[in-house]
Chain A
Amino acid sequence: MKGYGKISCKKGNLLSVLLKEGIYVENPCSGTGICGKCKVRILAGECSPVTETERRLLKPEEIRAGIRLSCMTEIDGDIEYETLQRERRARVLTRGYMPEFERDVFQGGYGVVIDIGTTTVVMALIELASGEERGAVSMINAQKYFGLDVLTRITYEYEHPETGMRRLQEAVVQSVNAMMREVCREAGCERAGIRQITVAANCTMMHMLLGVDARSIGRSPYNPAFLEAKSIPAGEIGIEAGKDTMLYCLPQVSAYIGADIVAGAYVCELQRTKGNILFIDIGTNGEIVLACGGRLLCCSCAAGPALEGMNISSGMRAEEGAVEDVRITEQGIELTTIDDKEPAGICGSGILAVVKELLRTGIVKKTGVFIKKEKLAETDYRCPMIRLNGSKREFLLHEDPPLVVTQGDVRQVQLAKGALLSGFTVLLEKAGITTNDLDKVMIAGQFGAHLPADSLTGTGILPEDVKEKLVYVGNSSKTGAYMALMSKAVRHEMEELADKMEYVELAETDNYERIFTESMIFPEF
């Protein structure tokens, strides 16, 4: 819901004051005046004058309506405000593909599996005797108040050396406890009946869950404090379960190849394949694992948040009302939104669909630039879809509410695409194989599951010739945690797998800049 409120403060930054009061305002750039997302409307009270940065990031009509970027606004005294983001129902993926395996844990009571993502935490309650799921829940990671991405949260640890680690740990442990209460209520069982918990997470989240210093993950040479699997009493980190409940954390490979990826690679059986299989988890960081000739190569690509609908001018997360698919025809533009609600913004799958369509219809050229409007005949169906904003071209996706895709948005997608494809290319080159040699490409993760093959290859994130080889495996991180819950042999094999995975640092690869540059070229239709 939109939030109205009143706060008072002697001299302070509006965003900091709001966050301190526990009022959530989206701030992907952590209040540095870059992203333009922390909009708040001032209803009454004195504020500092509108800054240049705000004039650049806000529309004139927004400024006239009293909308400010809270990070750029200083207040002194009483303020009445309205926050503009609505809390929306997010779509979370909790299921996926699972290979057959032999369980060797046979006990009574319950187990809990957790996948801790930077954005979302997913949990399931498992009846150990039957192996059946008795309850499942997902929640936004409460650490979001400390920043939306891992680096910002690590920065929080740098800036608060005394308290940072503890506060980040408390946030995620509180989330876990709240979720456990929820699943137990759903299943009608006592938390004391939980015997074992298994956790998959990215490396930063794992450090923060265990209250281990994550700062070294955020700086070259990116050495985490630990990589190995851990088994500790859950109570030790404040998790409220049974008296002797144990917590097992899956093993990790490097700062940017965490337990979530080891879990995924295991679920996709990369450790035992004889063929060439590529595993890719697409998100703010894209992780890729390639199994080839008995070797397992992996890398992490900084794709940026564009593919999750962030850093995009009309971007939003995959929540109700988000445009998730687009079709451009001579008759006009067809939109599909989540839950068929009025379009409110464009989520990651939507922005990819738009870019794919812009490329297909020639509105955007393979270098990523919009076609010049004057090059089109006035009668061309594409003409009214392109709008000039000053000298800059933008694509008008929807009139009211206005949703546009700017040249800058296309560039953000292009950067993400370049990062992912460059990782793909480097791993194949290292293994000495070509796209033709790949048997399967496994798409994992929350975000990947919503990306049709058309969008993935149509935007050139992956080459056209893998289109028929794509397999969607869903939330393989959670599945891996489940398998580890049900089998000690699986845990052992996962630990061996993590040891075998060879991490490739893209930035240190010969000729990387050239590969990245070439990877940014969009496919031609």
Chain B
Amino acid sequence: MSVKEELLKRLSDGVVNMEEDDVAEAAQEYLEAGYPAFDGIMKGLIDGMNRAGQLYEEEEYFVTDVLLCSDAMYAGLDVLRPCLPDEEDKAKRKGVIGVVEGDTHDIGKNLVKIMMETAGFDMIDLGRDVPLQKFVDTAREEGAELICMSTLMTTTMGGMETVIHLLEENGLRDKVKVMIGGGPISQRYADKIGADGYSQNAVEAVKLAKRLLDIA
């Protein structure tokens, strides 16, 4: 294994094993050895995060584990990203994500955001307790193709339907795909309110987003 391959493996394993400090250190060594930041991100950090996602899907990892993996990934990104050439990013597909108005539970949403970013989406995170109109306005201003909404509470899930109506009223419904998720949400509910898709967890959300946007 070459030195570069060894460092990439260390980055990837570091993410899978949730070793935040070692990932930051390995990223530094990787740069000092003169290797391109882009490969370090894609073949090291993102590779590790994808493996973590795989483990999550196999029920080997849980929310907690994936969040800790992502801490390690972001620690590496903080080191590598400043050294990326400028031209990247423009090809990224954009999505808006947030927890609907009235709800402040955002751990699930954060997890979806992490996995979407790992998969190469540019996610605009509106946070939690997001006013419904803001989803629509942001999607329009940013030219986003996706709106991802979540909620943990039955009392606030109705907001998702409102967002879909607002998209229609603003003439944006055919430009934006709507994905929903969260504790009380189900496929049936997605069908009922006319959302484009429902996903049960963060890994499925990525697959769903790719399917909805015809990304191979």
Contacts and interface: CB of A to CB of B under 8 A. Distances in A.
B138 interface: no
B68 interface: yes
A517 B128 CA distance: 18
Interface in A20-61: 29-30, 32-34, 52-53
B62 A368 contact: yes
Interface in A487-525: 505, 507-508, 513, 516-517, 520-521
Interface string B148-169: 0000111110100000000000
Contact of B186 (A53, A158, A415): A53
Interface in B66-109: 67-68, 101-107
Contacts of A476: none
Given A219-B156, A407-B59, A53 B187 contact: yes
Given A29-B184, A34-B184, A369-B61, A219 B155 contact: yes
A218 B153 CA distance: 8
A436 interface: no
B105 A367 contact: no
A33 B153 contact: no
B149 to A, nearest CB: 15
B107 A513 contact: yes
B62 A520 contact: yes
Contacts of B63: 415, 517, 520
A33 B60 contact: no
A158 B189 contact: no
A516 B64 CA distance: 8
A215 interface: yes
Nearest to A219: B102
Interface in B98-147: 101-107, 110, 128-129
Contact of A220 (B58, B65, B68, B129): B129
Given A32-B188, A517-B64, A158 B158 contact: yes
A389 to B, nearest CB: 11
B186 A516 contact: no
B104 A218 contact: no
A151 B189 CA distance: 17
Question: How big is chain B's contact interface, by range?
Answer: 20 to 34
A390 to B, nearest CB: 11
A392 B59 contact: yes
A508 B184 CA distance: 22
Interface string A102-124: 00000000000000000000000
Nearest to B189: A32
Nearest to A410: B62
B199 to A, nearest CB: 14
Contacts of B103: 219-220
Contact of B62 (A218, A391, A411): A411
B105 A33 contact: no
B62 A507 contact: no
A30 B154 contact: yes
A155 interface: yes
A403 interface: no
Interface string A375-392: 000000000000000011
Contact of B154 (A152, A302, A407, A513): A152
A163 B75 CA distance: 53
A414 B62 contact: yes
B187 to A, nearest CB: 7
A293 to B, nearest CB: 29
A415 B63 CA distance: 9
B187 A151 contact: no
19 contacts: A32-B185, A34-B183, A52-B187, A72-B188, A151-B155, A155-B154, A158-B155, A219-B102, A219-B103, A219-B155, A220-B101, A220-B103, A220-B104, A368-B62, A369-B62, A391-B58, A407-B59, A411-B62, A513-B107
Interface of A: 29-30, 32-34, 52-53, 72, 151-152, 154-155, 158, 215, 218-220, 302, 367-369, 391-392, 407-408, 411, 414-415, 418, 505, 507-508, 513, 516-517, 520-521
The 7 closest A-B pairs by CB, nearest first: A218-B155, A219-B102, A155-B154, A520-B64, A507-B104, A407-B59, A32-B186
